[in-house]
Structure 1
């Protein structure tokens, strides 16, 4: 009887995690749009949306820790609980990073345009959203093959990030533009 409640709570935790992941994906797409369009209102929407993500994170964290303490899961259940805790932390952190980018948009507006850097950021945002989709799908399907794809997808993001560093060099002579470009590299 207790184990039925345990598995139901575990399923609820998975559902909350997937909801949190969906919200963060929306935040990611929205904040990239705010950055590229220099849209202050869209940046504010991202910041306001973070409370819901934080609430889901805290609720999932508390309920999973409660499961650990009261139910003492073992084997596959323990691995799932551990995966939920780990994923929950990283998904919430992604949401926080979206807020940091939104604050950059608010604090650095207006800033110069650099088509190469903004194109890279746009592509990085798209790839990061794809990676989140893949990670959530791998979790739902319990697919090692999908999870292994994340390494290759991350390599392409790393290459784009290195390209951002190369773009930064052209601003070395202009202090204000260099500061802006440096912040874009940090966003990346």
Structure 2
């Protein structure tokens, strides 16, 4: 294979990873909107769209394997391929978490915990993922550290939200005539909200993972990986 073709394949890999990130962040935004608007049709679109993300992932995984096997890359090229391979795994998992959010929307029978601003937390996580992918596209090492620092803010927002849900549960008065079905429904609502918060926190973690792999790709620096 001519060297020019090899370099073209590396550039195509980078562009395809960026395209996959656009698809994934679009699904994530759709999932958040479906939760905010209680839009079941939009939630179903998010769930149905997971097959497209999985297909993208498998295609890119094979591209990475082919580049490893056929070209035996070294130095910067090796780090690009290895980092891209890890990043698409994080993107696929973010898409799975978006599907979770869509399923929570379908399962929700009524709105609860209005004081918990899930959409604001979700928007912060989307921004982190997009900024992490911008760092990958621009080979911006400084941005990688900044994104990792922002994860503390996401963690704090999620911790506050979880505490609010638990406090509301503790303060909820159960009347003598409250049925077991009503209690079960309440517990399901609490569980669903806590799972939503957990999944948003995990999306932030994946954004940090993407930044860590980008830093390794750019500067051969594994500081953020460990």
Q: TM-score range by the shorter chain?
A: over 0.9
Query: Could you say which structure has the higher helix fraction?
Result: 1
Contact in 1 for aligned 2:108/2:189 (Cα 8 Å): no
**Alignment partner, residue 140 of structure 1:** 137
Alignment of 1:45-124 (within 5 A): 45-106=45-106, 108-117=107-116, 119=117, 121-124=118-121
Q: 1:18-41, CA deviations, whole angstroms, 9 ceiling, x for partnerless residues?
A: 111001111111101111111100
**Alignment partner, residue 126 of structure 1:** 123
Contact in 2 for aligned 1:34/1:43 (Cα 8 Å): yes
Structure 2: gaps spanning 5 or more residues: 175-182, 198-226
**Alignment partner, residue 30 of structure 1:** 30
Structure 1: gaps spanning 5 or more residues: none
Q: 1:150-181, CA deviations, whole angstroms, 9 ceiling, x for partnerless residues?
A: 11221111011101221122114564323212
Instruction: Tell me which of 185, 191, 194 is aligned to 1:182.
Output: 191
What is the CA–CA distance in structure 1 between the aligned matches of 2:21 and 2:131, rounded to whole Å? 11
**Alignment partner, residue 171 of structure 1:** 169
In the TM superposition, residue 82 of structure 1 has moved relative to its aligned partner by 0.9
**Alignment partner, residue 213 of structure 2:** none
Q: Secondary structure at the match of 1:73?
A: coil
TM-score normalised over the length of structure 1: 0.93
In the TM superposition, residue 104 of structure 1 has moved relative to its aligned partner by 1.6
What is the CA–CA distance in structure 2 between the aligned matches of 1:149 and 1:109, rounded to whole Å? 36
When the two chains are superposed, the root-mean-square deviation of aligned CA atoms in Å is: 1.4
What is the CA–CA distance in structure 1 between the aligned matches of 2:11 and 2:91, rounded to whole Å? 18
In the TM superposition, residue 138 of structure 1 has moved relative to its aligned partner by 0.4
Q: Secondary structure at the match of 1:115?
A: coil
TM-score normalised over the length of structure 2: 0.78
